[in-house]
Amino acid sequence: MKEMMPENGQFAMPALKYEELPGAISKETLTFHHGKHLKAYVDNMNKMIAGSGLEGKPLTEVVKKAEGGLFNNAGQVLNHAMYFAQFSTSPKEPSEAFKSRVAKDFGSFDAFKKEFETKGATLFGSGWVWLSADGEGKLVITQHKNAENSVTEGLTPLLTFDVWEHAYYLDYQNRRADYLAALWQYVDWAEVESRL
Ligand code: MN
């Protein structure tokens, strides 16, 4: 995913490349999640950025430097842009090199997926589970509340599952673990690896 830059002081809505992810996320969920929730975050951020001193800056810099309401909205724009862009209806498998890195840091690819799902399922309240790379290139899984993101901790964010209820409640109600397990089939590892 390319760094998001504003044009004439306004960030554009991140595009969505699919209408549904059959068996994982319905068209109805995406209509609300992308079309309403993300749209509101983008609109709010664009209003709040005026006069903040962060006009014209790339989105990642806004997230790193903003506070309060601007941080909440900009963080949610970055998180959702990365979340929606990482899925595809024709996803690419992870490369052998990436699978080796995952196996080195988590024991195996299945062990990584299990830990990622567990950290997503056990995050209390609203937030995000992230796979990121640290300064030495080690892969780590972290939980973040609300609009937070591993980028503010100096990590390079690679993959995220949204565990706000708005991401799954229409399709899964309280079954957050089922939602998390269903997402893997659509993760486009070429996109994830491009973020390294
Ligand atoms: Mn969301």
Considering the domain architecture, whether residues 187 and 101 belong to the same structural domain is answered as yes
Q: 23: exposed, middle or buried (C-beta count within 10 Å: 0-12, 13-18, 19+)?
A: exposed
Same domain, 81 and 129: no
Asked whether residue 155 falls in the same domain as residue 70, the answer is: no
CA–centroid distance, 4 to ligand 1, in Å, is 18
Report the separation in Å between the CA atom of 162 and the middle of ligand 1, taken as the mean of its atom positions. Answer: 6
Of 85, 112, 135, the one marking the end of a domain is: 85
Strands (DSSP E) contained in the chain are 127-133, 139-145, 156-162
CATH number, domain containing residue 137: 3.55.40.20
Q: What total of structural domains would you count in the chain? A: 2
In the structure, ligand 1 is a single-atom ion and the residues with CB under 5 Å from it are 162, 164, 167
Model-level pTM?
0.97
Q: Residue 75: which CATH number? A: 1.10.287.990
Distance from Cα 123 to the centre of ligand 1, integer Å: 14
Average pLDDT over the chain reads 97
**Which of 89, 81, 85, 86 lies closest to 37 in space, CA to CA?**
81
Distance, CA 97 to ligand 1 centroid (Å)?
Answer: 31
CA 72 to chain centre: 14
Judgement on whether residues 131 and 183 belong to the same structural domain of the protein: yes
Give the domain range for residue 144.
96-194
Q: What spacing in Å lies between the alpha carbon of 166 and ligand 1's midpoint?
A: 6
Please tell me the distance between residue 92's alpha carbon and the centre of ligand 1 in angstroms: 23
66 shares a domain with 33: yes
* 61 shares its domain with 134: no
Whether 188 is in a domain gets the answer yes
pLDDT at residue 130 greater than cutoff 90: yes
Measure the CA angle with vertex 173, ends 143 and 45; round to 5°: 55
Tell the burial category of 167 from Cβ atoms under 10 Å away from its Cβ (0-12, 13-18, 19+). buried
165 and 137 both lie in a single domain: yes
Residues 82-112 have pLDDT tens digits of 999 999 999 999 999 999 999 999 999 999 9
Measured distance CA(136)–CA(31) in Å, rounded = 39
Residue 33 Cα to ligand 1 middle (Å) = 6
What is the spatial distance between Cα 119 and Cα 111, in angstroms, rounded to a whole number? 12
57 CA to centre of ligand 1 in angstroms: 23
Q: 31: which 2 tokens?
A: 């209509």
pLDDT tens-digit map of 3-49: 999 999 899 999 999 999 999 999 999 999 999 999 999 999 999 99
